[in-house]
Copies of this chain bind each other. A is one copy, B any other.
Amino acid sequence: MSKDLTKRSENYSQWYNDLVLKADLAENSAVRGCMVIKPYGYSIWEMMQAALDKRFKETGHSNAYFPLFIPKSFFTKEASHVQGFAKECAVVTHYRLKNAEDGSGIIVDEDAKLEEELIVRPTSETIIWHTYRGWIQSYRDLPILVNQWANVVRWEMRTRLFLRTAEFLWQEGHTAHATADEAIAETEQMLNVYAEFAEKYMAIPVIKGIKTANERFAGAIETYCIEAMMQDGKALQAGTSHFLGQNFAKAFDVKFTGKDGAQDYVWATSWGVSTRLMGALIMTHSDDQGLVLPPKLAPIQVVIVPIYKGEEQLAQINDIAFNLKATLQNKGISVKYDNRDTQRPGFKFAEYELKGVPVRIAIGGRDLENGTLEIARRDTKEKETVSQVGIEERIEKLLIEIQETLYQKALLLQTNMTHSANSYDEFKSILETKGGFVYAHWDGTTETELKIKEETKATIRCIPLDNKKEDGKCIYSGKMSTQRVLFAKSY
């Protein structure tokens, strides 16, 4: 199986596409740019959802659901939002089909033209703030802490499975607050929720920062983000959290009466992560043999494969394996015992390697004699023959160790892929030869940012939150700068 996977060193992009298809994660559909998320891929997404949803609820949020469609006029109400989102989108213009009179099939019924076109939501700020207008009168109605799990559509021209698709799944939090400070605290809290999730569950180290004006969410005052580094030296934005100020409250006339009786516009945030995280997960850890999954997001954490000759030996192995499976499951570990007789062990080994199962246990004839079994780690490919006694504790520890090892490995990669440039030549040379993150001085203007992007394809990923101040000169314009910002080519 794995022999069909393109090597990363040969063609990283092809390797990614091969892997997504062969590991049964997703595939392209009959509809341009829309993907089918296959059961195995979806089960990983479900684990991400569960972990995130739990944290959202622990931080006081509730889920709700808002309409898929947004009236076209809503987009024009927030001046910058319309530029960002109401362009490449799916437009519903009619609400009926009919049989063609010439019998050629079904056609759009022109009598069923909508008075106002509906846009399939690319993001829901507008319809939600229209709704919040009815929910908020006084400070007693605040804060509103709501999240939505939903599908959204952005008509992307060049699509790639998980990374950039016309339709994708995401969650979008939309909160309303009485003060700017409270809204900013919420924005930062959710950024931290995302960063913790990336690091503790996905085993991906991230840089927390704020976006430049040019890269900001359309309609936001400030966009916070987490940025991750992939194995090929390109960055990936893994989540964003926006402080929206009073922009949407003003656009949709949402005011509240404060404790002092005075009226003011409501303060807003929004924040989201999407199925794009699947792309980040795949690209961070996987190798030329296939997917590598951190145990906390692995639908199958342990697979047991019997290696046997004859029914009698299989029966003996079955006894041990079913026992072990039950014991591990009692510890909350997800286990699959694959005793299919239609496939050989070698085939199964390759399959679970391709699918990224963190731990493989093999039990063979000699193990029956010796009271042993073989443990193989997916991440390091180390194998070890160990006693069946105490195996549960060993597996439990091993899963924790694998999770930590993957994080440390990704952190090392990030560190090795992080450079500093003190001149534009050095900057370009790093991007061409090594890729990765490049810290460099920038004069703070959009003009310079766009020029650098045009000439090098690198963008400012963020101004890191933990940045130290340092006087220097912009690598492009030579103007004064007080801090380095983080550049990279990106997905």
Chain A contacts to B: CB under 8 angstroms: 27, 29-31, 34-40, 42-43, 46, 62-76, 82, 86-98, 105-106, 108, 117-120, 127, 130-131, 134, 140, 146, 150-151, 153, 155, 167, 169, 342
- Residue pair B76, A105 in contact (C-beta under 8 Å): yes
- Residue pair A68, B153 in contact (C-beta under 8 Å): yes
**Do A67 and B120 contact each other (CB < 8 Å), given the known contacts A91-B108, A97-B86?**
no
Known A38-B64, A91-B97, A92-B92; further 13 A-B contacts with Cβ < 8 A: A29-B67, A30-B74, A34-B67, A34-B68, A39-B146, A43-B62, A68-B153, A87-B97, A90-B92, A91-B94, A92-B93, A93-B93, A96-B155
Residues of B within 8 A of A169 (CB): 65
Which of A63, A66, A74, A97 has the most CB atoms of chain B within a 10 A radius of its CB?
A97
**Do A64 and B42 contact each other (CB < 8 Å), given the known contacts A31-B71, A131-B29?**
yes
**Do A96 and B92 contact each other (CB < 8 Å), given the known contacts A29-B67, A127-B30?**
no
Residues of B within 8 A of A39 (CB): 62-64, 146
Question: What's the least CB distance linking A115 to chain B, in Å?
Answer: 10
Residue of B nearest to A145 (CB): B39
CA distance A155 to B35 in the complex (A): 25
CA distance A140 to B347 in the complex (A): 15
- Residue pair A105, B63 in contact (C-beta under 8 Å): no
Contact of A93 among B40, B75, B76, B91 (CB under 8 A): B91
- Residue pair A89, B97 in contact (C-beta under 8 Å): yes
Which of A75, A93, A95, A167 has the most CB atoms of chain B within a 10 A radius of its CB?
A95
CA distance A342 to B40 in the complex (A): 49
CA distance A383 to B76 in the complex (A): 55
Contact of A92 among B38, B43, B120, B130 (CB under 8 A): B120
**Do A106 and B36 contact each other (CB < 8 Å), given the known contacts A31-B69, A68-B153?**
no
